Chain A
Amino acid sequence: MVTLDSLLLGFQSIFASGLVLASLYVLMAAGLALVWNTLGIFNFTHGALMAVAAYVAWTVADPRGLDLGLAVGVIVAILVAALLGLVINYLLVAPFLGQKQIVLIAVMTTLSGAFFIENSALLIWGPRIKQLDKFVEGNVKIAGTTISGHEAVIIVVAPLLMLGLWAFLRFTWTGSAIRAVAQNREFAELSGIRVKRMYAIAFAIAAALAGFAGIMLGAIRFITPGLGGEPLLKALIVVILGGLGSMPGTVLGAYLVGFGEAISTYFLGAYWTQAMLFLVFIAFLVLRPNGLLGKP
């Protein structure tokens, strides 16, 4: 018997878990979208960057590592991710920019880069699984459902970070230049914008965002070299569903996928949810090949 009460309870838990998932997806997808929008490539090292950042944060923060506290760990890990992003851009992406087959080339180079980074992580940190401390202890009640304080942090921080990214792209010289480079590389050059530098900055910011997502994940899931694998796939879906080239589309896509997954998990169970997700995704792309807010 479905009573009003149980239905309400269902909606409450869907809302809470949907919000947590969606916020995570926002964090995971933002950097991927930034790189696509600016450089016109998919960066498949995005997931590996998540894992490395989580490992670095753990090494710096954990008592078995450097024991410098979580805050220091987070900052160091984000910086390392950004630096690694610069290196990846310099070695695996920048040399091929401007070539006709750049999308495919970048898939191959960044995919091999991802394998390299993930296996290096395995060599450095070993197979023993690790986990980061939660950012905050305790629980928070939202809309009648209890979630962990850490998840609450994610829910709050994800939109704030997006707001920050939007403000950066909208109101700063560097941000405007990054958008300009994305829209017309040649005119950007003729305006005196250092295009390669803008690419590098965009890549580093994206890597830092991946790093942050990885750190957030590292306190919920166990840290393994493959930590970012499934999130990368989700981020790809989010970015494509939201529409390539549209940052608002990516955010919208993240919330849609997050809530869709929560609804599907509630009614169909976790087992069928992934299959459902891809089914809906493919069906949607048949109807709207450019995604929600993408440009043709």
Chain B
Amino acid sequence: MSDAALEIRSLHSGYGRVPVLHGISARIEPGETVGLIGPNGHGKSTLFRTLSGLLPAWSGSVHFLGRDITNKSPSAIVESGLIHVPQGNTLFPDLTVQENLWLGAFAKGPRAERRKTIERVFSLFPRLAERRGQRCRTLSGGERQMVAIGCGLMGLPKLLILDEPTLGLSPKLKMELRDAIAAIIGSGVQTIIVEQDPEFLQTLATRFLLVSEGAVHAEISGAGGLEHQRIVEMYFGHA
């Protein structure tokens, strides 16, 4: 069997002494776009914080492109190409858009490519080019999300994790972001997207995982797309 893009084996983690992930396992093949859905507070963000090294894994393992990255430092994980774009307004608020993007390319490899990459980010999000000299705290929610995704792209990801990219955005902005994310996926960047709204993922993801109570609860794959019915079933057990 060839190496998975990402292989998570019975991962346990949590905050302090409180466990959140109860032995979560998942395997993500190269090239597939995975959508992650599931109710709030059931470990989606905790999973990604553990994957990116912000939280220690209590037990279990994470392999990325065949390499063991369990409990590696966040910077080592970023350098290996697994880049996690966190949810919400988590930027460097008093740095400009451009400074934020530059810092996304902090690792040595991406740093050498940064001028090329930033042009790509600007063509993807033309609004960021207009606002490149503006401090991030003065941006709107949608623009901040664009900066966050842009920062992720600046690190030349081999696997990009977007944690609720449309949280709190208007439907119109959501559509805009969906097009941008589709373009990112189209350019060959493998992506995992977390969303509250399964419809948002319908056209983007090729496989869906439902995370619930700290484990992968159900899984839907198939090119036939996602039927609303199935999602309702996933959320509520039965429809």
Q: A176 touching B102 by the CB < 8 A rule?
A: yes
Chain B window 54-74, contacts with chain A (Cβ cutoff 8 Å), 1 for yes, 0 for no: 100000000000000000011
Q: B107 touching A192 by the CB < 8 A rule?
A: yes
- Let me know if B91 is at the binding interface, CB within 8 A: yes
A177 to B104, CA, bound (A): 10
Query: Within the complex, what minimum Cβ distance (angstroms) separates A131 from chain B?
Result: 42
Query: Within the complex, what minimum Cβ distance (angstroms) separates A283 from chain B?
Result: 29
Q: A180 touching B95 by the CB < 8 A rule?
A: yes
Chain B window 67-100, contacts with chain A (Cβ cutoff 8 Å), 1 for yes, 0 for no: 0000001110011000111100011111100010
- Let me know if B52 is at the binding interface, CB within 8 A: yes
A189 — which chain B residues lie within 8 A by C-beta?
52-54, 74-75
Q: A173 touching B155 by the CB < 8 A rule?
A: no
Residues from 175 to 199 in A contacting B, C-beta threshold 8 Å: 176-177, 179-180, 183-184, 186-194
A192 with B86, Cβ < 8 A, contacts A176-B102, A186-B54, A187-B92 known: no
Interface residues on B, range: 20 to 34
Q: A187 touching B91 by the CB < 8 A rule?
A: yes
Q: A184 touching B90 by the CB < 8 A rule?
A: yes
A189 to B83, CA, bound (A): 11
Q: B54 touching A176 by the CB < 8 A rule?
A: no
A187 to B104, CA, bound (A): 9
A184 — which chain B residues lie within 8 A by C-beta?
90-93
Q: B106 touching A177 by the CB < 8 A rule?
A: yes
Q: A191 touching B78 by the CB < 8 A rule?
A: yes
Q: B90 touching A191 by the CB < 8 A rule?
A: no
Q: Give the number of A-B contacts (CB < 8 Å).
A: 65
A173 — which chain B residues lie within 8 A by C-beta?
106, 111
A46 to B107, CA, bound (A): 32
A193 — which chain B residues lie within 8 A by C-beta?
75, 103, 106
Q: B54 touching A177 by the CB < 8 A rule?
A: no
B106 — which chain A residues lie within 8 A by C-beta?
173, 177, 191-193
- Let me know if B201 is at the binding interface, CB within 8 A: no
Q: A179 touching B78 by the CB < 8 A rule?
A: no
A177 to B111, CA, bound (A): 13
- The DSSP consensus for interface residues of chain A is helix
- Let me know if B151 is at the binding interface, CB within 8 A: yes
B53 — which chain A residues lie within 8 A by C-beta?
189
A177 with B103, Cβ < 8 A, contacts A190-B52, A194-B75 known: yes
Closest to B107 in A: A192
Closest to B49 in A: A186
B84 — which chain A residues lie within 8 A by C-beta?
190
Q: Which of B78, B102, B106, B155 has the most CB of A within 10 A?
A: B106
Chain A window 93-121, contacts with chain B (Cβ cutoff 8 Å), 1 for yes, 0 for no: 00000000000000000000000000000
B99 — which chain A residues lie within 8 A by C-beta?
176, 180
A183 to B111, CA, bound (A): 21
B75 — which chain A residues lie within 8 A by C-beta?
189, 192-194
Query: Within the complex, what minimum Cβ distance (angstroms) separates A92 from chain B?
Result: 22
B83 — which chain A residues lie within 8 A by C-beta?
190
Query: Within the complex, what minimum Cβ distance (angstroms) separates A295 from chain B?
Result: 9
A176 to B114, CA, bound (A): 15
Query: Within the complex, what minimum Cβ distance (angstroms) separates A182 from chain B?
Result: 9
Query: Within the complex, what minimum Cβ distance (angstroms) separates B98 from chain A?
Result: 11
A186 to B54, CA, bound (A): 8
A116 to B110, CA, bound (A): 44
Query: Within the complex, what minimum Cβ distance (angstroms) separates A189 from chain B?
Result: 4
Q: B92 touching A190 by the CB < 8 A rule?
A: no
A183 with B92, Cβ < 8 A, contacts A173-B111, A193-B106 known: yes
19 A-B pairs with C-beta separation under 8 A: A173-B106, A173-B111, A176-B103, A177-B103, A179-B92, A180-B103, A186-B54, A186-B86, A187-B86, A187-B92, A188-B103, A190-B84, A190-B86, A191-B104, A191-B106, A192-B75, A192-B79, A192-B106, A192-B110
A-B contact sample (13 more), CB < 8 A, given A187-B91, A191-B78, A191-B104: A176-B95, A177-B103, A179-B92, A179-B95, A183-B92, A183-B93, A183-B95, A187-B86, A190-B52, A190-B78, A191-B106, A192-B74, A193-B103
A→B interface (CB under 8 Å): 173, 176-177, 179-180, 183-184, 186-194
